[in-house]
């Protein structure tokens, strides 16, 4: 049984990853911005901790003694809140803090949840540049995500990172099947590709326990 720190454990992806980790017997440190809002996360084998993913020291404190870290943090809960207050450097700051903090604590493996808009269409066009696939108001968020991915790609780091990118149809209440497919940089067919949060968590934990992809980004879908 090993320890996993989940940054963004209060969100949908973070909660799903925490559940899957506990299902497999891992001890979990669940990191959220405000622990008072997420007291329900605490359970046997789950330690709730307040922390800022853009602060290298907070990352180091949370990841001390952990086998792997999961980045499931978003600067807000969703498009319904608007993007006026978005920090375009949020994901860059998070990437830099994670790489510094995890290097300090020798936490070797980092799994991050990506964004479908950073994938490419079959003709090589980034999804974020196609208004038919991505509404223009969401483009700044996609660009912020892309900047964070670029920061990971350019880093000279001992941290073995992987970004797992779900499709646009990421379903909140769909059941866990334990099955998924792994692709590359091309977006899966938007008409058919889907994934449950539970199966996204399965993919994250599979790559935590038995790493198959290293220092890259993959798509995950059913």
pLDDT tier for residue 188 given thresholds of 50, 70 and 90 = very high
Its pTM stands at 0.95
What per-residue confidence (pLDDT) applies to 112? Answer: 98
CA 52, distance to chain mean position in Å, is: 15
Read off the pLDDT of each residue in 47-53 and give the average, rounded to a whole number. Answer: 97
**CATH number for the domain including 94?**
3.40.50.720
Q: What is the pLDDT of residues 105-133, one digit of tens each?
A: 999 999 999 999 999 999 999 999 999 89
pLDDT tier for residue 146 given thresholds of 50, 70 and 90 = very high
What per-residue confidence (pLDDT) applies to 77? Answer: 52
Neighbours of 17 (CB within 10 A): 30
What per-residue confidence (pLDDT) applies to 127? Answer: 95
Q: Which domain holds residue 80?
A: 3-221
What per-residue confidence (pLDDT) applies to 191? Answer: 83
pLDDT at 24 over 90: yes
User: What is the total count of domains within the chain?
Assistant: 1
pLDDT tier for residue 82 given thresholds of 50, 70 and 90 = low
């Amino acid at each position: 049984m090993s320890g996993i720190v989940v940054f963004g454990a209060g969100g949908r992806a973070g909660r799903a990853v925490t559940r899957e980790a506990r299902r497999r017997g891992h001890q979990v440190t669940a990191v959220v911005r405000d622990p008072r809002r997420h007291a329900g996360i605490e359970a046997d084998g789950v330690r709730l901790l307040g922390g800022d993913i853009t602060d290298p020291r907070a990352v180091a404190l949370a990841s001390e003694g952990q086998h792997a870290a999961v980045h499931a943090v978003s600067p807000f809960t969703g498009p319904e809140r608007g993007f006026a207050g978005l920090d375009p450097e949020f994901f860059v700051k998070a990437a830099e803090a994670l790489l510094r903090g995890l290097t300090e604590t020798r936490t070797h493996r980092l799994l991050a949840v990506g964004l479908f808009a950073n994938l490419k269409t079959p003709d090589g066009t980034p999804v974020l540049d196609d208004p038919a696939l991505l509404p223009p108001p969401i483009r700044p968020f996609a660009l912020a995500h892309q900047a964070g991915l670029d920061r990971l790609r350019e880093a000279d780091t001992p941290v073995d990172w992987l970004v797992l990118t779900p499709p646009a149809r990421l379903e909140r209440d769909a059941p866990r099947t334990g099955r998924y497919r792994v692709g590359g940089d091309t977006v899966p067919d938007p008409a058919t590709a889907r994934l449950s949060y539970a199966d996204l968590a399965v993919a994250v934990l599979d790559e935590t326990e038995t790493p198959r992809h290293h220092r890259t980004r993959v798509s995950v879908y059913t």
